[in-house]
Amino acid sequence: MEFVEFEGKSTEEAIDSACAHFQVSAEQLEIEIVSVGSSGLFGLGGRKAKIRAVLREEAPVPLLPEAQEVLEQMLEKMDEPGKVTGHQEDDRIILNIETEDAGLLIGKQGQTLEAMQYLLTKILAKKSRRKVRITIDVESYRARHNEALAQLALKNGDKVKRSGKPITLNPMNPHDRRIVHLTLQSDRELKTMSRGEGLYKKVIIYPAKKREGQEDASNLS
């Protein structure tokens, strides 16, 4: 945000104008005094006070402790208490849950875990009023899941290269689709594309070069 200039009969009046403009107290502004002004001789030839002001940039509040607390509260409400540990990598908060019933928190194909992650992200984004990136894991499920997805992509990629025909995978969330795309992106014999509406879409794996008589993957339903 750029500085804005304000004038007044005195420095105090100029600062009051700045506070009214930004609708904050003077403590929340960074203020530079351009000139203090003067009343002039016998009230003639006076000069107004002038300042430049801008909202102070507040240091972002660390969200990791709050993220852990909110997640633990969510687990208690689900009657599935667990120990939450976490760390931060760049702009992403990584949380791990230690619990006796990991399968219940993971859910079918990780859907319960994804739902918890989505909800926690929304809660913290609303509280902090800034973009939040959160990953929740249970007993290294995501690492195992990502490896399984990579193997699935490689296996089906080999099938496509042998048959020359596209293969459509089951609907996946954005994270899972990204793993498939990244796994096969360096294979010059294959291409991938996502198709569908909404959050869950299908990934199509198809040959980079069409064989004679083969239909283009972009025309497949």
Residues of the chain falling short of pLDDT 50: 218-221
Report the CATH number that the domain containing residue 79 is assigned in CATH: 3.30.300.20
132 and 91 both lie in a single domain: yes
* Residue 99, token pair as written in the block: 């619990």
Q: What is the pLDDT of residue 64?
A: 92
Domain span including residue 167 = 144-212
- In this structure, the number of other CB atoms found within 10 A of the CB of residue 219 comes to 6
Give pLDDT tens digits for 40-58: 555 555 688 999 999 887 6
- pLDDT at site 29: 92
114 and 157 in one domain?
no
At residue 1, the pLDDT reads: 63
Rg of the chain over Cα atoms, rounded to whole angstroms, equals: 29
| Domain end among 139, 161, 182 | 139
Q: How confident is the model at residue 219, as a pLDDT?
A: 44
Q: Domain total for the chain? A: 3
81 in the same domain as 46: no
Q: What pLDDT shows up at residue 221? A: 36
Residue 54 burial (CB count, 10 A): 15
CA distance 12 to 192: 64
**Residue 108: what pLDDT?**
87
Q: Give me the pLDDT at residue 61, please.
A: 65
- Cα 207 to its chain centre, rounded Å, is 33
Kindly state whether residue 153 falls inside one of the protein's structural domains.
yes
If asked whether residues 68 and 128 sit together in one domain, one would say yes
CB atoms within 10 A of CB 203: 26
Domain limit, last residue, from 139, 163, 179: 139
Residue where a domain terminates, one of 55, 77, 92: 55
| Tens-digit pLDDT profile for residues 109-150 | 888 999 999 999 999 988 877 788 999 999 899 999 999 999
Q: Same domain for 89 and 134?
A: yes
Asked whether residue 218 is domain-assigned, the answer is no
Residue 45's pLDDT is 58
Asked, for residue 177, whether it belongs to a domain, the answer is yes
